[in-house]
A = this chain, B = another copy of it.
Amino acid sequence: MTRLADSSYGKCNVRLTKVSRSGERHSLQEYTVQIVLGGAFDRVYTDGDNSSCIPTDTMKNTVYALAKANEFDSPEAFAGILAGHFLQFDPVRWTDVSIEQQGWTRIVVDGAPHPHAFTRGGVGTRTARVRREREGASTAWGGVKELEVLKTTRSGFAGFFRDRFTTLPETADRILATTVEATWEYAAAAGGAAASRAAVFDAACRSLLETFARHDSASVQQTLYAMGEALLSHCPEVCSVALSMPNQHRLLVNLAPFGMENPNEIFVATREPYGLITGAMSRE
């Protein structure tokens, strides 16, 4: 006999553009939304009984209708609105809503930010997620991804474990490059004011970037930990942070066959294979 051990379903890549007007000045929010629902949907799977099934097409419509009906100025806030909305339906036991925000900055014309023209920009891609349980538990995360950074010195890797398959030379000076993905969980007591979400995002990104720049790196792992520690120290609203940092190698090119030295000047960037370092830090 077959048992449905687990199930969930939802809608992915719902793309929302919202324009808000304040006189001549327009504001722009672009989100890509993903909604996942869990609950008492077993008979949809096992019996073809759709009476409890909220169509994913309805989820899409709901994104646009609730975007119109509500004011919000952070992806966390809109994720919370959506996560709460779907909990009102009986079969739904939990909701999980993730949002990516496409960043736009105003074009500068004659030295001033333009009221309605934008270009893509900003530091990385802002993310948000809210998960709610019917029983009341609610968790909210903010984050950033595609935050690319590189430092040309103050990074080494030495003293590592060696076995018969180790050929990597030790180095005291290498390029360190990575694309940071960070996800931070808001403390339950952090409050939900949208303004504070944007402030947390700015403080989090600034602490990640500044720590990356300043740190004397003995490994990607150590730099990752220092960055997470700095984020926690600058963002009291955050109770934990998970970081994922691929090691995007820049390998020194061997110019000796051409009679040339290469004192850390000429490198080749390689996409694969790549190291992947992850870690989660929380307050003790």
B68/A212 in contact, CB under 8 A: no
Complexed CA–CA distance, A73 and B246 (Å): 29
Encoded as 1 (CB less than 8 Å from any B CB) or 0, chain A from 197 to 209 comes to 0000000000001
Of the candidate stretches A130-138, A187-195, A251-259, the one touching chain B is A251-259
A257 → B minimal CB distance (Å): 5
Contact between A268 and B64, CB atoms less than 8 A apart: yes
Q: Tell me if B260 and A69 are in contact (CB < 8 A).
A: yes
A175: chain B residues at CB < 8 Å are: 17, 19
What is the CA–CA distance of A118 and B123 in the complex, to the nearest angstrom? 12
Q: Does A159 contact B (CB under 8 A)?
A: yes
* A151 x B265 contact (CB < 8 A): no
- CB-based contact B61/A165 at 8 Å: yes
| Majority DSSP secondary structure for residues of A touching B | mixed
B67–A266 CB distance below 8 A:
yes
CA of A51 to CA of B160, assembled, Å:
5
A2 touches B161 (CB 8 A): no
Are B65 and A107 closer than 8 Å at their CB atoms?
no
Q: A56-73 interface mask toward B, CB cutoff 8 Å, 1 = contact, 0 = none? A: 111011101101110000
Instruction: Give residues in A with beta carbon < 8 Å to B.
Output: 1-20, 26, 28, 30, 36, 41, 44-58, 60-62, 64-65, 67-69, 89, 91, 104, 107-110, 114, 116-121, 123, 147-154, 157-168, 175, 209-210, 212-214, 218-219, 221-222, 224-225, 228-229, 232-233, 240, 242, 246-247, 250, 253, 255, 257-258, 260, 262, 264-284
Choice from B45, B104, B212 contacting A224 with Cβ under 8 Å = B45
B219 and A152 within 8 A (CB): no
Task: Give the Cβ gap from A14 to chain B, nearest Cβ, in Å.
Answer: 4
Q: How many Å lie between the Cα of A242 and that of B123 in the bound state?
A: 30
Most buried by B among A51, A233, A258: A258
**B residues in contact with A258, CB < 8 Å:** 61, 65, 164-165
Q: Bound complex: CA of A43 vs CA of B158, how far in Å? A: 14
Q: Which of B60, B163, B279 contacts A58 (CB 8 A)?
A: B163
3 tightest Cβ-Cβ pairs between the two chains A and B: A48-B218, A117-B213, A56-B275
* A267→B67 CA distance, assembly (Å): 10
Q: Which residue of the partner chain, among B55, B163, B167, B247, contacts A56 with CB atoms under 8 Å?
A: B247
Are A265 and B104 interface neighbours, CB within 8 A?
no
Contact status of A12 and B273, CB under 8 A, knowing A2-B283, A118-B150, A175-B19: yes
CA distance A282 to B61 in the complex (A): 34
Output the least CB separation between A70 and chain B (Å).
11
Q: Do B161 and A15 touch (CB < 8 A)?
A: no
Q: How far is the CA of A44 from the CA of B17 in the complex (A)?
A: 28
The verdict on A2 contacting B89 (CB below 8 Å), with A15-B273, A51-B159 known, is no
